[in-house]
Structures are given as C-alpha cells and as structure tokens.
Structure 1
Amino acid sequence: MAHALAVLSAGAASMAPAHAQQATAAAARTYAIPAGALQPALTRFGVEAGVMVSFDAADVAGRSTAGLQGRYGPADGLATLLRGSGLDAVAIDGGYAVRKPAVNADANLGSETGVMLPAVTVAATRTGAEDLPAAYAGGQVARGARLGMLGNTEAMDAPWSNTAYTAQTIEDQQAKTVADVLANDPTVRFTTSSGHIYENYTVRGFEIGSNDLALNGMYGLAPFGHAPTEFVERVEVLRGPSALLTGMAPSGAIGGVINLVPKRAAATPLTRLTASYLSAGNGGAAIDLGRRFGNGKEFGVRFNGAYDNGRTGLDGQSKRRALGALALDYTGERLRLTLDAYANEEDVRNGSAWMASFATPVVPEPPKAGTNILPGTFGKLKNQAAVARGEFDLNDDWTAYAGIGALNYRYSGFINGTRANGIRPNGDYTGYTYHQRGFTDSVSAEAGLRGKVRTGPVEHRLVLGYTALTMRTGTINVASRAYTSNIYDPVPPVLARDPGAAPKTSDTTLTSIALADTMAFADDRVLLTLGLRHQRVQAESFNATTGARTADYDQDAVTPSVGLVFKPWGPSLSLYGNYIEGLSQGDTVTDVTAANYQQVFAPYKTKQMEAGVKWDTGRLTNTLSVFQITRPSLIRDAVSNTYSPDGERRHRGVEWTVQGELARGVRVLGGVAYTRAVLTRTANGAWDGNSAYGTPQWAANLGAEWDLPWVPGLTVSGRATYTGSQYVNTANTQRIDSWTRYDIGARYVTKIAGRRTAFHASVENLLDKSYWAGSFNDGYVTMNAPRLFKLSTTVDF
C-alpha cells in the first residue's frame, strides 16, 4: 500500500474516530524510541501515544530519525521524531498526518502538488500537578516545571520565572554535574572555582549553596558537593524567593530554587552504555537501565551507575567519582508510589581549586588557568540517601500526597578554606590549610492534599501542605601554621594535621504548613494564586570541644504570596506578576560588648516584586521579566551599641530568556540578565549606595545547535558566556574585569549493527583564557577552569 497507518494504543478494541483537538490533548507519555528508519519509528510512536499517525510510504521511505527520548505530548513528540526528516505533521480528524512541507502554489506555477497544507495547531493542555511536563520544541527544556507545593505547572500558567533543563540537554552537552547544566542559564553564576569540591551558585545575585538543592521538590536530600546528573531527568530553576512554594531552604537561600527530578523507567526497555574521556586524562563509564513490568507495565525500575577516574584540568590533581542510583515506581489506577535511592562518592587527590583575596586595591593578573597552588591536599565526600513518595487519588478531583526521605553525608580532608590570602601585586600571599571532618544527617518529610472545587464560574485549585526537615550536623577543623607562597610560582603548602572525629555542633528543625488557592477565571485566561505559609525554625548550637549548648533559637514567621497570570489573546501570550517572600534564619547577636548581646531575631523576610511577559510561538518561547528583591541584614548602631536587622540590600533587574527552535533544525538556548544590586542601608551609612559584591550588572548566555541538513544525524553547537565586571568587596575598593568564554561541540547520531549510537565531542573555554571568574564571600574571588576537551560515546542495546 502507498498509504500506511500507525494506529492507536495497544489493546484498543476499535478505531472510533476522534477530533483533532482530542488527539492533541492526549496525555503526555515517556518514550524511548531509538534512532533509525523513520517508518517503524512512526508506527511505534502511534501505538505508544494512543493516536493515529497516517503517512504515505513513499514520503517516509529512506528517511531516518534521531529517535525520541523523554516525556512528550503527542504533538511535541511527533515533531521531535520528525526533526531533520524534511517532513511535517498536520492535525487531522482522529490524529495526525505526516506530509512533505507545503509549497506555495504560485511558486510551482499551478502544479497540482503546490497546495498549501493547513498549519499545525498545537493545543497545549494543563499539566497535572504530579505529571512531568512535556519537552518543548527542540527538546532542550520542558514546557513547565515544579512550583513547590503547587506541583508541576505549565510555564505559561506560572506567575514566576522558571526553566527546566531536560535529560536530552544533559546528554547532548555531556553535562556531568548540575553546574554543567546551569552553564546555559543567564540568571545563574557560580561562586566556587571550577574544579572545587563544592558547587555553589547565585541566582539573581543571591547565593544558593550545594546543600540548598532540592530533590523532587524536597529539601535536605540532594547530594552535597557536586550533584551528579546521570540519575537526573530534569534540572529545574525557579527564580527568586519562594517561601510559600517550598518553605525555607536549609541554609536560608533566597535567590531561587534548583530542583533535581530523578529519572523513571519508560514504557520501552532501555539499556544504554556510555564511555567518556576528558582531555586531562580522566576516563569513565556509565550505565542506564530501565524496565517496566506487570500486565499494564505498572511497575518500573531504573538504575543508573557511573564511575570515572583520572586527571582533572587542575595541574597534578586527580579525581575519582562513583555513583549508583536506583529508582522504583508503581503506577496504578489511583495509587502512585516511587522510591529513589542513591550513593555518591567523590575522592579528590593532590590539589584543590582555590580562591583569592587581595592586599591592596590593585587586582593582580590571574595565573594561568589550572594552576595548582595546593598540591598534596585532598578531600573525600560521601552521600547516601533514599526517599519514598506516594500519591493517592481520593476521587477525580482530590489527591493526597506524602513523602519521606533521609540523607547521610560525610566529608573529610581539605574541603574549605582553600584560599590565597592577601595577594600582593607581585603575586606573593600568605596561606593556611584547614583539615576538616564533618557530617550531616537529614530527615525530610512532606504531606498534603491537593484538589479543585468550583464556585460559580471560578475553579479553585487548592493545596494544603506540611513540611518537616531535621538536620544534625557536626564539624571540626584544624588550621596549619602560616606559610608564604606566590600564585605565579607556588610552593608546596604546609598541611594541617587530621583533626579526628567530628562532634555534633548543631541541631536544626524546620517545620511549616501552607495553604494556597489558584483561582481560574474565563477558561484559564486569568489565574490568580493566593497563599500563606507558617514557618517555624528551631536551631541549637554546641561547642565542638565541650559539647555545651551555645545557642538556642526558636522563631517563626508567616509569609504571604500572590501571583497573577493574564492571557488576553489566548494561550500563546501570558502577562504575569507576583509578590513573594523568602525566609532565612535571623541572626543572633554574638558581640559580647553589645547592649543586646545574645538577642535572637525573627527569620529574615526577603521580598520580591516581579512582572513579566511570556510569548510562546509554538516553536520558540521568550520570557521578559523585571523584578525587585530586598533583603534585610544586621547592622550596629554606634550610639546605642545595639544591633538590629535594619540593614537592607536591594536588587533590581531585567531578564530575557529564550529557548526553542529558531528554524527547522536550529535550536537556541540562553538570554541576558541585567542586575543592579545596591546596599541601601548599612551600619552608620558607611557603605550606603555601594554595589553588592559578586553581582555583575550584565550577564549573558547564548547557545545554538544546528542539525546539518546534508549529513543526517550530525549536529554542531556553540555557546558564548559573558559576565560583566564586578566588585570584589563591600567597600567597593576592588573590582575584577568582565570576561567572555566560548564553547563549541558536535555530535553524530547513527545506527551501528542496528544499535543507536551517539558520538559527542566538545571544547570548553575554546581560547584557553585565564580570568578571575567571580566572587565568593566578601573580598574573595574565584578562578576559571582551563580549556577542556570532552569526548563520549553512547550506545543503546
């Protein structure tokens, strides 16, 4: 037959026709369709998607596809499957028709084939709170992300700015850690040097430590240090304070939320092996296994393992990394259960990336990128965690959910304090090393009820949620004696002795209860979200030597939020605005000479106002936002000799982000951020009006990919990253220059012996530039990484 049909879901008893809008509104599903011939891939897609896909066999003959990996709605999945094939999908009664692109009749001088086909209309559907949003056009980002207690939400329905990077982006860019993924984001910058044992970030100019990452929406469970990506399906960034949505972060981060979504088994069995190599001499391998079992494939198992070892980009340093992660899930008619467990270990030997401070206003030139001033130092991190979650549909409108998890984290070695202090213009500095041991044991839990009711023309989407996080931490460190060295000609450092076992030094308990109502008016053209969260913070500190309690903190706060989305001309354009607060633990006065010594202040409330517009063309989405964030701080009044939380830091900014397909086979990802961070109230007005350190006014990222049309399966890519000049210290007496980094890459996806095989190659810091990259703490700067070559090969068996 010249005409073939790929039809319906397996088990369908008949082929009753449906309207096109019913087909496009079908549920999103997870696919693992390998690269290869297009015709069987289309047939398989139609069966798994549960929609009819019609095509002419002559049109698809000899054409191939790069496959389909991840969770998609029918329209997005079919478009991704057809990418680079030269064919289009058109919505028809009952499903989709795959055809050659329409050609203008005039251009064909009246040819019968010169008929303009109807345009594809993709009808977006509202994502369920527990459904992973489908990938957007191009597959690099998703159509939505998790908004804390509100659950997964389409980006066009969210009154906040957020981006969710997909597993496809992780694989295509050979991203080993979360920082590698977030290198695509113009609103994110890093506050630790590349190659350091920890990865810390800023979002909108405010710090987020590695211990403030969330795992599946829950704090206290994500890996410390470097969060590996092999077991991660999505890396989501929610910008700005988020106390209502997520509660208080363990360390009080208020710049935003970075959430990791674990992988799940797809309907199609997956066995994927990856071999990788870094130019410095680091080789590794990873395995990704996924299977579903049961009559209805209701049981899923996904295992990810990774191991790499060898030299890093830092001179003489080596690193060993091992990961094992298991994800189990059950999907029943009303009940859904998941269990995620992972163990991650990092062992860094003979060196550490480092930070620097300067003795004078003169900022010296950085040494060559990759210079190791700390040979002989070492560090080890070990993370073990497990988290169980469940949802039960009480009826069609109401769902109860709960989750509980635990993390065990241990570290030892030269972890922090890896600094060159007081560098003079000739490069001389004074150094110390700090040998540390420590631990964190966390238990995190949540429970809630989510549902909807109608009051006249208004639909109320209600959420009542409770969270609890307990963290017991211990740390001890010993400093070495001072030594002198030079950043251009370093000498071996003096190493501190092992301090021994770490005693308990703090107990922290964070509990909260929140209520939110999203009211939908006029067929979802207007969405108004109102909410409140009551947060309680209990913390005790203990002397590391005697074990005596040194502080006892028990405070609470209520944080409101309001968000508005207005779609005046349909679902493709959203105007949004929000007011939301963030929480961080209030200070305790530790100055023994102060009149209010040991006074404990309530949690600090960081307040954000934001407005913006989101424009979705169907293939390309632009988001433009303006915001103001104010954060209080502790200051001392010299007259009364008292401290108060009356200091203030204010960030005002404009952000533009873009993602999607600029043209067929051409994808873009990035944007521009302008942030003006000012100290508006300081002690005795000494620094009023100064810029906040570590916050460049301008930052930009722009990445592009191009599927070469004359070589099916071959893609070339590039990315430029710009960070403007920034002050190093609060006094604004030291400043580092702006910098630009260029990365390039290529990948080739084909079939070898019937197996999907992908080859990846990339070069980061193409020009091998050396520069001070950013700031860490008041007065310290970070160093960039040298040029790095990445190679990997992935095979599906």
Structure 2
Amino acid sequence: MKNQKNTRKKGLSLHRPVQLAAWLAFAGAAQAAFAQSAVGGETAAPGAAATGAAAGGAASGPASGAAGGTEQALPAVNVSASAQSDSPLNLRTQVSAGALGSRSQLETPFSTTVVTGEELADRQANKLGDVFMGDASVTDNSNAYSAWATYISIRGLPIDWQNGFRIDGNPFISYGITMPYENLERVELLKGLGGFMYGFAQPGGMVNYVTKTPGDKPVTSVSVGYRMDSVFSQHADLSRRFGPDGMFGARINYTHEAGKTYNAGDINRNSLAVALDGQLTRDLQVYFNAIYQQSRSSGQTPAIYISPQYVGTGLPSPISGGSNLLGGTDQHLNTNLQLYTGGVKYQITPNWSFNTSVSYSKSTRDRNESTLTLLNQAGDYSDSRWNGDEGHQDIYWQGMFEGKAKTGIFRHDLVFGASYQRQTNDYSAVSHFFTLGDGNLYQPNPWRYYSGAGLDKYRDSQITQKSLFASDTIQLTERWSVLAGLRYSNYDQESYNLSGGRVSQYSQNGVLTPTAALMYKLEPHTTLYASYVEALEQGTIVDQIYANGGALLRPLRSRQYEIGIKSEQERWSATAALFRIERGAAYANEQNVYVQDGNSIYQGLETAGSVRLGRNWQVAGSMLLLDSWYAKGQAYNGNRVAGAPQFVAAGRVTYDVPQVPGLQVGAAAKFTGSTKVRPAGDLETGGYMIVNVGANYLTRVGGHDVTLRAAIDNITNRRYWMYQYASYIGPGEPRMVSVNAKIDF
C-alpha cells in the first residue's frame, strides 16, 4: 500500500597490510554475511564473520587461532566478553517480552530471534532484511534508503510498520526509518502474535531495538566504513561512569553516512543516541534515553505495483536493483526520528521490583515517490507520482510490577501492569498524486517532477489504547510449568477531515487478548513448550489507490497455536517450532476495492541450529516450511496467501584461520522460494538464492584493538524480483562490496 505502507564486511589486516590485503581480495569476498557466526546462530548475515570472540560458548576465533598457530607474532587481543558470553543462538540472552516481563529466549514459550550488536557490526547491516538474513522465517521485502527499508515478512505475514516496532520497549512509527544499527546493543524479534505482550498489532511479529547503555567498563571507539558505490560512514561510541562509586553513567553514540548509493541515489544521514542513568541508592535507579536521527536521500527505486488490469501470465524479466533506469534525483525521502524516554526502576524487596517509564516519539517524512503501475509482461508501466509530508507521534506510559511468590508447593513468577498509548497521524492537507506518463522497465524513465518540502499537515487519525495486564508463570515441579496471561484493553480509533471534523470512529472497551503456555524442561538447557495467544490489529485506513480509499475498516482478530523446543548446549544450539496462525483476511478484490473477507491461514515448521566443529569451523542453518491459504472467503478461497513463500532455507559456514590468528572467513546463503504476488494467485516472483562472502580480522595496532571487516553481498549479482507487499514487487539489490575499520582506545 502506498500512502499507508506506502509502505557488510570483513576483515583486512593491519598487521600484515600487503599480505592480507591481497589475501582478502579473495577471502574478503569470504564473509560479508557472516560475522558472528560463532555468536548468533540465528542469523546468517550479509556480512557476518565473527571475530574470534564472537564464538559465544565455544572457542573463539582469535583464541583458537592463537592456540593452533606455531608463531605468535601478534600481541594478545583484548576482546570484550559481553557480546560473546552467549552460545550461537543467544538463547540465554534476556529479551523483553512486553507484558511477560524480561526473560531469556530459552524461557520464552514463543519463537524468538536475537541478533547482537557485534553481529550487526560484522554484517554491516544496511536494512532490516540484512539483520535477519540468517533466519529462514524472515523474508526480506526491504530496500535500503527508501520507504521500504524496514519491510520484512515473518512466517509469511507482513510486520506492522505502525505497531510492530519498538525501541527499548517503547513504540515508534518505523515507516521509512533505517535505524542506526551501530548504536544498538541487539535486535530482538518475537515471531507471531504479540497481542497479549504489546496490545493491538498485526500478527507477523514484533521487532525491538535495544540501544547501548553505560556499562561498568569505559568505552571509546571510532570506526570508518565504505559501501558501494561511494557511501562513506563514521561512527563514534563513548561510555563512562562517574560520581561516587560510579553512581552515574553516560553513553553517546554518533553515526554519519553520506555519499552515492548503489543505484546512483544520494544519502546523508546523521544519528545521535544518548543514554544516561543514575544508581541513586542500592535499590533505586533512574534513566533517560534519547535518539535523534535526520536522513535525506534521493534517487530511490520506485515502488512497482501490479494492478488488477495487468496483462500476462508471468512477471517481466527481473532488472538489477542497481539500475537507475526507473527514476531520478527528483524522487526523495527525507525523514526525522526523535525518541525520548525516562524511567525509574525500584527493587522493592529481593523478590519484587517496579519499573515505570514514559516515552515520546516523533517521526516525520517528506517524500516524493513514484509508483510504477505495471501493465504487461513486456515491462510497460504507467508512472504515477505521490508527493506529500507525513508525521506521527506516540505518547506511551507503562508501569509494571514483577515478582516471585509461593502458594503451597507452587512457585509463581508474577507480572502486573498497566499502559497507555496515544498515537496521532498527520498527513499533508494538499498532497499530490497524479500520473506523469508511460514508460518501460528496460529503458530510462523520462519523467521528472521536482518538489519542495514543508507542506501543511492536518490531523488525519488518532488511536488511543488503555490496558491492564497480568501474567503468572506457575512452577508446578522442577520440570513442569504453566503460563497464563490476560490483557484488558480499551481501544478507540478516530479519523478526521481537513477541517478537523470526525468522519469515522471505531471504539471498543473490554477487549481481551489472552495467552497460555505449558512448558517442560527436558534438561536444564532444553525447553519444550506449547503455547496459545490471541491478538487484535488496528483497523486499516484504506489507501487512496483503491476504489474505497479513505475508508476505515474494523480491527481484525488473530489466533496462534505453537509447539516448540529450544536447546542450548556448550558447542551447539537448536530450535524448532510447529505453528498455526489464523488471521482475518484483507485484500483488494477484482473491482480494486480493499475488503475484509474470510481468513488467511498460515501453518508450518521452522527450525534453526548452529554447531561448532573442532577448533575452527562453525556451521549454522535455518529452514521454514510454510503452507498458507485463504479460507471462508468469497473471492480467493483456497489460493495461497500473497507474500507467503512455501520454502525458505538459510545457511552459513565460518572458518577461523589458524595460520593468521584473529582472522575469520565465511560464506552465507539464503534461498527464498517462489512467492505469490497477489491474492488472485496468478503471478509469482520465482525462487532465488543470495550468496554472501566475507572476512574479518582482529589485531592490535599501537597498543589498541583494531577490527577490520570486508564483505561482498550477492556475490553472484543475482537478479530477482522481491515480493514487498500485496501486489507490490521490487528489484533485489545488486552485488555489494563494503569494508569497515574500527579502533578501540
């Protein structure tokens, strides 16, 4: 949808510059997707080559390399263990589960993924699809430097750009926002329904960005990077504790990138993140976090829309995502993100704590963007331009008690809380959507429309949620436990006209979204679980490209059933889950009316695993088998759901080179099966595989730790159509080379 969607990497050596630079011309192709293979079994990243320290739980690259080499020419490397203290799938990492409180992945009875900050650095992630490249359950629908930057599908379901994203648990509008990944401690993904945990949201999943905060040890680091065609970046990270006994802490992260992108566009982005905390007493902590980001980009690849009038039995031959044939510098996306959070944590007793926080987020967009309505298989299109300003604000408060209690022989982990959220959406009072003319995908687009910014906006809609929630995890025996939770919500959604008059409203009090789970410990580090959860998602305001544009549709209810297992051992980790999701279906029918009709069903199996072989090898893989169909509807009964591939597989292998202590090389691949483009089921993208290679090298120069990374993503320069949204496709990104150097002082 348009208005509403609408919607890497490793190593050169500093220690042996000539020898390794030449070697990395070959091996540096080695792992642009693989950093941290040792650390994060869940993601075969576009540039993820783990530093030796990245081998959480197992022998790290530098350590094992040093042990295996006969020469110790390199001085010892001082590697922080914080990012590496976990095993490959990071299952012992604490994750935020909303109303469930904070618990490890291993103790969470839903499928989750965690990508650490070290992995993000190794991968040099450029968009959200890069972050989760190693997770087969996540399909990349994203394009860097455009409004599609955060579009992904989880188990075939789109993620909700209005309600599916959080920063440190606080909501913000993600549309068009590429996060400064350098400023993050980790990225958490909850797959499936988050209704009980977070309130109204689409059932695809929830992404939570966790920012870096002051630690016990001081941090001073600077990095510089390069990405094709000529985008240069710089990042600085500074953290200190001060005051009596280190009572106060401060951490500042700054990121800048600018230059010419792979499709001849331009980018200029500045990001600043500040985290402050104060341990006022032994039991009382206060904190304040702020993020500010300004991004200006131009020359984006237009969205490609498949209309109901499309003529052809298949899609046109794919074009390169690096092509500048489809647009020019007149198209632009300028965004601003601000988030301010303050909170208090109080340890009431050894077993009970209270945490309350309030946040304010504001995001704005000024975009001039083409939609190419594809007419036929020869690649002819009609170019329509949308130009306007948009803005969103979120005010959020949450208070939560977490504690332990005992009744008879049973132990309880309890959570009680309340939350309030008010989201407002502003759009241009006078936006422009008009047809420029016709063109063809394989020839330069002749149409240009330059525009400025600063258009007047009006309050288009407002959504208010007030919730009470509670959960109880009852320890029945040493092995058996049961979880029960319930969220009670009052929900109100209103839309307005240009003069401020209310044109539609949907409100409902007493909305209940429950969850329940049964868990069994096969052994201390293996959890078997069965869970159930419900969710409601916001009613859609229909995009203007449809015949009923502007209509407010009712919220849709979804249900999820899941059985899974998670295990994390010293040298291997594994997860598996069987799931079924029942979601109310919404799509454009043959009359181009966007309707709610029947259900869409998603059921399948997802697996992931990682194992360390010997001292130097690590192998990881992930797989999704997915069946989906429209049910109980009138139009597309039995058709496969648009955007849901039947098979996805991802894998990676990394090798710590014993002859060069500190050097790791690797390769990653991800195959995405053919995906239906629209509910009619008559068009599909075709399957495709992306291969990334890269390397990283950790050494010391002048007494300082230095990490060098180089990567090549899509090394075969594969051309393919990528599903982006129902009836929308985009060209996949071309071969991409990136390098980065970081020094710790």
- TM-score bracket for this pair, using the shorter chain length: 0.7 to 0.9
Aligned-partner Cα distance in 2 for 1:722–1:768: 14
Deviations 1:56-87 (A, max 9, x none): xxxxxxxxx978699x9xxx599799554439
Write out aligned runs for 1:653-692 (5 A): 653-659=604-610, 661-683=612-634, 686-692=635-641
Write out aligned runs for 1:71-86 (5 A): 76=57, 82-86=63-67
Deviations 1:676-700 (A, max 9, x none): 11101212xx311000011100111
Q: Post-superposition shift, 1:646?
A: 6.1
Residue of structure 2 aligned with 1:582, choices 513, 532, 535? 535
Q: Post-superposition shift, 1:301?
A: 1.0
Determine whether 1:704 maps to 2:656: no
**Secondary structure of 2:417's match?**
strand
Residue of structure 1 equivalent to 2:21? none
Q: Post-superposition shift, 1:748?
A: 0.7
Residue of structure 2 equivalent to 1:550? 503
Higher relative contact order (CA 8 A, sep 6+): 2
Residue of structure 1 equivalent to 2:602? 651
Gaps of 5+ in 1: 1-34, 37-64, 88-131, 638-642
**Pair member with larger Rg:** 1
Deviates more, 1:132-141 or 1:786-795: 132-141
For the 8 Å contact 2:303–2:371, the answer to whether it is kept is yes
Write out aligned runs for 1:56-135 (5 A): 76=57, 82-86=63-67, 135=85
Residue of structure 2 equivalent to 1:27? none
For the 8 Å contact 1:573–1:613, the answer to whether it is kept is yes
Aligned-partner Cα distance in 1 for 2:543–2:128: 36
Aligned-partner Cα distance in 2 for 1:452–1:384: 36
One-letter identity of the residue aligned with 1:344 = Q
Aligned-partner Cα distance in 2 for 1:362–1:644: 25
Residue of structure 2 equivalent to 1:745? 694
Aligned-partner Cα distance in 1 for 2:175–2:247: 29
**Secondary structure of 2:106's match?**
helix
For the 8 Å contact 2:302–2:372, the answer to whether it is kept is no
Determine whether 1:495 maps to 2:445: no
Residue of structure 2 equivalent to 1:278? 227
Residue of structure 2 equivalent to 1:44? none
For the 8 Å contact 2:387–2:451, the answer to whether it is kept is yes
Do the aligned partners of residues 619 and 148 (structure 1) sit closer, same or farther apart at CA in structure 2, a change above 3 Å counting? farther
Residue of structure 1 equivalent to 2:381? 429
Determine whether 1:609 maps to 2:590: no
Residue of structure 2 equivalent to 1:50? none
Residue of structure 1 equivalent to 2:351? 397
Determine whether 1:783 maps to 2:738: no
Residue of structure 1 equivalent to 2:25? none
Aligned-partner Cα distance in 2 for 1:359–1:441: 41
Q: Post-superposition shift, 1:279?
A: 2.1
Residue of structure 2 aligned with 1:202, choices 130, 147, 153? 153
Deviations 1:132-161 (A, max 9, x none): 998422587763422222233122222111
Aligned-partner Cα distance in 2 for 1:691–1:788: 33
Deviations 1:363-419 (A, max 9, x none): 11012331221102112001111111221011111111101011121111225xx32
For the 8 Å contact 1:66–1:750, the answer to whether it is kept is no
Q: Post-superposition shift, 1:535?
A: 1.8
Deviates more, 1:692-701 or 1:609-618: 609-618
Residue of structure 1 equivalent to 2:574? 622
Residue of structure 1 equivalent to 2:254? 305
Deviations 1:95-127 (A, max 9, x none): xxxxxxxxxxxxxxxxxxxxxxxxxxxxxxxxx
Aligned-partner Cα distance in 2 for 1:298–1:77: 34
Residue of structure 1 equivalent to 2:301? 352
Determine whether 1:562 maps to 2:510: no
For the 8 Å contact 2:61–2:616, the answer to whether it is kept is no
Residue of structure 1 equivalent to 2:269? 321
**Secondary structure of 1:439's match?**
strand
Deviates more, 1:361-370 or 1:132-141: 132-141
Q: CA RMSD in A?
A: 3.1
Aligned-partner Cα distance in 2 for 1:135–1:480: 55
Deviations 1:294-335 (A, max 9, x none): 333232111100111111111x21111110110112234212
Write out aligned runs for 1:705-720 (5 A): 705-720=654-669
Determine whether 1:730 maps to 2:674: no
Residue of structure 2 aligned with 1:459, choices 411, 420, 433? 411
One-letter identity of the residue aligned with 1:628 = R
Deviates more, 1:420-429 or 1:192-201: 192-201
How high is the TM-score relative to the length of structure 1? Answer: 0.78
Q: Post-superposition shift, 1:422?
A: 2.2
Do the aligned partners of residues 335 and 657 (structure 1) sit closer, same or farther apart at CA in structure 2, a change above 3 Å counting? same
Residue of structure 1 equivalent to 2:24? none
One-letter identity of the residue aligned with 1:340 = N
For the 8 Å contact 2:707–2:742, the answer to whether it is kept is yes
Q: Post-superposition shift, 1:587?
A: 6.4
For the 8 Å contact 2:52–2:656, the answer to whether it is kept is no
Q: Post-superposition shift, 1:791?
A: 0.6
Aligned-partner Cα distance in 1 for 2:540–2:179: 29
Residue of structure 2 equivalent to 1:39? none
Residue of structure 2 equivalent to 1:26? none
Residue of structure 1 equivalent to 2:42? none
For the 8 Å contact 1:271–1:289, the answer to whether it is kept is yes
Q: Post-superposition shift, 1:666?
A: 2.9
**Secondary structure of 1:230's match?**
helix
Residue of structure 1 aligned with 2:440, choices 486, 511, 534? 486
One-letter identity of the residue aligned with 1:734 = L
Aligned-partner Cα distance in 1 for 2:552–2:247: 55
Residue of structure 2 aligned with 1:506, choices 458, 461, 471? 461
Determine whether 1:414 maps to 2:368: yes
Do the aligned partners of residues 751 and 168 (structure 1) sit closer, same or farther apart at CA in structure 2, a change above 3 Å counting? same
Deviations 1:716-769 (A, max 9, x none): 021101100011111111112100000001111100000001110000110111
Gaps of 5+ in 2: 1-13, 16-49, 69-81
Residue of structure 2 equivalent to 1:153? 103
Aligned-partner Cα distance in 1 for 2:91–2:543: 46
Deviations 1:148-198 (A, max 9, x none): 222331222221111211111011212244432122221111334344233
Do the aligned partners of residues 207 and 177 (structure 1) sit closer, same or farther apart at CA in structure 2, a change above 3 Å counting? same
One-letter identity of the residue aligned with 1:229 = Y
For the 8 Å contact 1:745–1:761, the answer to whether it is kept is yes
Residue of structure 2 equivalent to 1:193? 143
Aligned-partner Cα distance in 2 for 1:137–1:312: 36
* % same residue: 24
**Secondary structure of 1:136's match?**
coil
For the 8 Å contact 1:432–1:494, the answer to whether it is kept is no
Q: Post-superposition shift, 1:480?
A: 3.0
Residue of structure 2 equivalent to 1:29? none
Q: Post-superposition shift, 1:275?
A: 0.4
Aligned-partner Cα distance in 1 for 2:619–2:340: 36
Deviations 1:459-511 (A, max 9, x none): 11110111111111111220133301111002232427558212111111122
One-letter identity of the residue aligned with 2:67 = G
Do the aligned partners of residues 180 and 400 (structure 1) sit closer, same or farther apart at CA in structure 2, a change above 3 Å counting? same
Aligned-partner Cα distance in 2 for 1:218–1:419: 32
**Secondary structure of 1:169's match?**
helix
For the 8 Å contact 1:749–1:756, the answer to whether it is kept is yes
Residue of structure 1 equivalent to 2:494? 540
Residue of structure 2 equivalent to 1:520? 475
Do the aligned partners of residues 163 and 338 (structure 1) sit closer, same or farther apart at CA in structure 2, a change above 3 Å counting? same
Residue of structure 1 equivalent to 2:243? 294
Do the aligned partners of residues 260 and 189 (structure 1) sit closer, same or farther apart at CA in structure 2, a change above 3 Å counting? same
